[in-house]
Every structure is written in structure tokens, then in C-alpha cells.
Amino acid sequence: MGKTRPENFKLCILGRDDFGRSLDVLEEHKVNGLPITIHRYTHSTGVDGDCQMLFISDSKRPFMTTILRSFENQPILTVSDARDFAKNGGMIQFVLGQKHIGFKINTYAAQAAGLKIAAPLLELAIVVHTKKNKDTP
């Protein structure tokens, strides 16, 4: 039997929530016909595999390697603004430029999780082609 279609698009936030209630407006919208629901977590052990997108706060940087490893190869889009996030196995890293916010995409991490990043998005990003090297500390 195949996986059943989810009832909602679950956007999860792990760690310090600098967005506050400003993200709650997204719950009035849909992704591919699914209503968006926002879930906030303090600890990664509370996050379940039902998240379609997981924003990992910079406050979790000391635990980032362990967190990313626990969600490795799961079809969850991992996103963060933490330094070196994409280089260390995260999928999309927001980076602050002089006048705008850009992003880096780790295509290997996305492919390993069975996710495809649309070409127009890749054209706007800095693409990180490195995969995690298990021999590197």
C-alpha cells in the first residue's frame, strides 16, 4: 500500500521562533490544495515525520549535525538561517546579503530525501554540490 495523501501541509519550526505570530497568516493559505498548519517545537525529539517543511532555528546550531542526521533521507524539506547549514547537510539555507536575502541549496540532501528542487529556484540560488562526508568532523 502507498502512503496516503496528508490532510494538510505541515510547516514545522524547531527551536527559537523569531517569526512569532507573523507566520500564522500562512494558515489562511493552501499548498497543492492542502491547508497549511504551523507547528512549533522546542526539541527535535518532538518533531514527527509528518512535517513537509522543517525550519530549524539558528538557536539549534550546536545540535545541527545530530538534528540533520535524524531527518536524513526523509521527505522533509529542511530550511534554516544557520551558518553552514547547507554545507552540513541541510537543504535550503537563507543567507543575508547587503541588500537582500539569498539562499543556498544543497541538491544532494534534497535528492537523498527524494525531493526535487524546481529549476527556477535553483537558478536563483547558490547551489551547494557537496554531500556530507562522514569522515569530516
**What's the CA gap between 114 and 15, in Å, rounded?**
25
Residues 34-73: pLDDT tens digits?
A: 999 999 999 988 887 789 999 999 999 999 999 999 988 8
pLDDT recorded at residue 130: 62
pLDDT at 121: 87
- Model confidence, pTM: 0.84
pLDDT tens digits along 70-129:
988 889 999 999 999 999 999 999 998 777 888 999 999 999 999 999 888 888 888 886
Query: What is the pLDDT confidence band of residue 13, given thresholds at 50, 70 and 90?
Result: very high
CA distance 92 to 88: 11
The per-residue pLDDT for 59 is 95
4-9: Cβ within 8 A, 24+ apart: 6/34, 6/50, 6/52, 7/34, 8/34, 8/35, 8/36, 8/37, 9/34, 9/35, 9/36, 9/37, 9/52, 9/53
Domains parsed from the chain with CATH numbers: 9-128 (3.40.50.2300)
